[in-house]
Structure 1
Amino acid sequence: MHEQDAGHLGAAPDSEAAAALVAEDVDDLGYVMRLTRVWAHAPELHARWFDAVAAASSAGGLDLRDKGVLVSATASEMGDAYCALAWGARLASAAGDDVAVAVLEGDEGALDDRDRALAAWARRVVRDPSATTADDVAALRTVGLDDRQILAATVYVALRQAFSAVNDALGAAPDLRLAEDAPAVVRDAVRWGRPPA
């Protein structure tokens, strides 16, 4: 791999799997994300994480908006700027700037019932999972999720939380281009975590 910033880690060793991760970023984005440089040290872990996230999303019947709400709420509760910028931008494209900003800023009163329930659940899971109640779960049922979907959404949040924790702990700052490509209102709402570099 190229000798470029991989957070607190050095450059990843060359391998076919690492090269595939890099090529995917270049094809999709036109540049290599800093988090990719971190995960390139063990691409098989990234692949297994990705498979688990995809399985949880599928089992939960989560669409792009649902995932955007869950990840944006998770990232903002954790103080993770990287995923907040990436998923705040995706949520803005799926549901509008106002929804993305409301989730990022924790203004759940500005959301519809489903978005509010998903955002509140993600924050509770991140903040103190042992303090959740049956009423918290009932709020998810009220907006149409069954127990399988609730389990899957919870697994999805936990996996996203783990991903953010790895990236943040290993010093993967948000890519400057990622920040520049995000809507201005999303950039303005993300006032925590590592600054773009």
Structure 2
Amino acid sequence: MRSATADADLDGCTRAILVAACASAFGDAYCWLAWGSRLADATDDRVAAALLRGDDEALTPSERTLAAWVRQLARDPNRTTADDVQTMRDTGLSDSQIFAVTVFVALRLAFSTINDAIGVLPDAALRTTAPEAVRVEPNTVDLGNREHE
């Protein structure tokens, strides 16, 4: 993941956008709170909460394109098209950067799959320290009412 981050030249805010968009599309409660909180720190609570709910209006055009790419990869990677890749190029990303972003997202999806498969839920500290706007999740994300075991 570090290599993909370095190859794509991703700063902390962009990584938070990628992971939060992935978590919102994939429904990973742990990453939702952890990375939603990081995104709130990098931007503000309102931007983070909106992105987690699929509203990217507060993002820059290139950030919106990245968030849309992530959601496409998380929901149905087989439906990506040459036009989708071209849209990424149009934001100024090189093919190697697009590849690196895609690798980064694929690894995040693998991490989320592991979390879900073994039942990892956000612990009480994460559930209580995340900004309130980030804690209010859509019905598709179950943050659980039990302590992380």
Give the fraction of aligned pairs with identical amino acids, expressed as a percent. Answer: 50
The normalised TM-score by structure 1 is 0.70
TM-score between both structures, scaled by the size of structure 2: 0.91
Instruction: Name the larger-Rg structure.
Output: 1
Q: Is the 8 A contact 1:75 1:81 kept in 2?
A: yes
Are 1:195 and 2:144 matched, yes or no? Answer: yes
For each residue in 1:104-153, what CA deviation from the matched residue of structure 2 results, as whole angstroms up to 9, or x when unmatched? 00012342212211110000011111100112112212222111110000
Cα displacement string for residues 149-174 of structure 1 (whole angstroms, at most 9, x for unaligned residues): 10000000000000011011101111
- Asked whether the 8 Å contact 1:81–1:190 carries over to 2, the reply is no
Which deviations, in whole Å up to 9, do the C-alpha atoms of 1:50-89 show, x marking residues without a partner? xxx1111111101111111110111111111100100000
Structure 1 unaligned runs (5+)?
Answer: 1-52
What corresponds to 1:37 in structure 2?
none
SS at match of 1:186: helix
Structure with more relative contact order (C-alpha pairs < 8 Å, separation 6 or more): 2
Give me the CA root mean square deviation.
1.4
- 5 Å-filtered alignment, 1:145-156, equals 145-156=93-104
Look up the match of 2:91.
143
- The CA deviation at 1:190 is 5.5
Q: Which runs of 4+ in 1 moved over 4 A?
A: none
Aligned position for 1:95 = 43
1:158–1:146 Cα change, 3 Å: same
1:79 aligns with 2:27: yes
